[in-house]
Amino acid sequence: MTAFIAAPDLLKNRTILVTGASQGLGRSAAIAYARHGATVILLGRSVRKLEQVYDEILAIGGPQPAIFPMDLAAASDADFSAMAQAIGYQLGRLDGILHCAAAFETLAPQALESVEGWSKLFKVNAAAPAAINRACTNYLEASDHASVILVGETHGHEPVAYWGGFAVSKAALEAYFKVQADEWAETPMRINLLIPGPINSPQRAKTHPGEAKDILPQLDDLLPNLLYLMGQESADIRGKVFHGSSRVPA
C-alpha cells in the first residue's frame, strides 16, 4: 500500500501530547504534527532539548507549542494528574497522545540485570503510558475522534536473548495496549500500536553502534503512519498493530 499523504491541515485545531519529544521519533513526529496544524505539547526530561524542538516548530510556522518537562521514571499518579489539569487549564482540550518516550539501558544477559533496572524500565515503558492515558481520559473523551498511539518495539513483540527487562517491559506495553483497546472499544477514543522495526534512531545507535546508518529506514519514513493514525481518516482503526512504514494492520 502506498504511503499516506496527509493534507496540510490534517491536524488543524487539534491538540496533541507527544512524550519523548526531545529527540528521535518523538521529535520528528512533534514537528510533523505541528507542520500539519496541531498544537503540540512537548513532554520530555531535557528542557534545553524541548526548547530546541519548540524553536524548530515556530520556525516552520507551526502553532505555538507547549513544553512540559517531566521525568517519567520519577513521576507519580499525582504528577500525571497535575499534567492533565495543566493541559486542560492552559489549552482547554486534548485530541491525541503519541507515546514515544522509552527507557533503555544496555543489552545484557539475565544474570547481570537487577530489580532496580527492571523497575525503571517498567515504569517508563509500560506504567507511565497507561498512567498518562488514565489521567487524560476525560479530555480525550471530550474530543470527537481522540487517537492514542503507542510505540512498541520488535523485541517486545518477539523477545530474544539479551534484551532482558527492556523486551519484557515492551511486551507489557503490548499487553496493556490490548487491554485498553478492549476497554475503549465502545468509546470515542481509539488506541493503536506502531512497532517501528530497525530504524536510524538514538536507541538503535546504542544497540548497534557499528551499523551503517544510511542503510536503515529513517525516522521520517514512519511519519506517514503517525499522521494517518492521528488524523480523522483512521477514525475507524482501533486496536491494530502496525509494523514499520506499512499501513497494513498485522
What's the pLDDT tens digit per position in 53-95? 999 999 999 999 999 999 999 999 999 999 999 999 999 999 9
Split at pLDDT 50, 70, 90, the class of 103 is: confident
pLDDT of the residue at 196: 83
pLDDT of the residue at 209: 55
Q: 163 and 111 in contact (C-beta within 8 Å)?
A: no
pLDDT of the residue at 163: 67
Q: Is the pLDDT of residue 199 over 90?
A: no
| Nearest residue to 68 via CA among 30, 102, 33 | 30
pLDDT of the residue at 117: 86
120 to 13, 101, 111, 170: CA distances (angstroms): 35, 13, 18, 12
SS3 81: helix
What is the rounded average pLDDT of the residues 15-26?
Answer: 95
pLDDT of the residue at 197: 62
pLDDT of the residue at 37: 97
Split at pLDDT 50, 70, 90, the class of 154 is: confident
Q: Which residue has the cell 528542557?
A: 47
For the chain, the structural domain boundaries read: 15-243
Q: 43 and 97 in contact (C-beta within 8 Å)?
A: no
* Cross-sheet strand order for the sheet of 39-44: 66-69, 39-44, 15-19, 96-99, 147-151, 190-195, 241-243
Mean pLDDT (the chain, rounded)? 88
What is the pTM for the complete model shown? 0.90
| Nearest residue to 29 via CA among 125, 168, 150, 124 | 150
Split at pLDDT 50, 70, 90, the class of 137 is: very high
Higher pLDDT, 153 or 240: 240
Which CATH number is 15-243's, of 3.40.47.10, 3.40.50.150, 3.40.50.720, 3.30.420.40? 3.40.50.720
SS3 208: coil
pLDDT of the residue at 250: 46
Whole-angstrom distance, CA of residue 91 vs CA of residue 108: 43
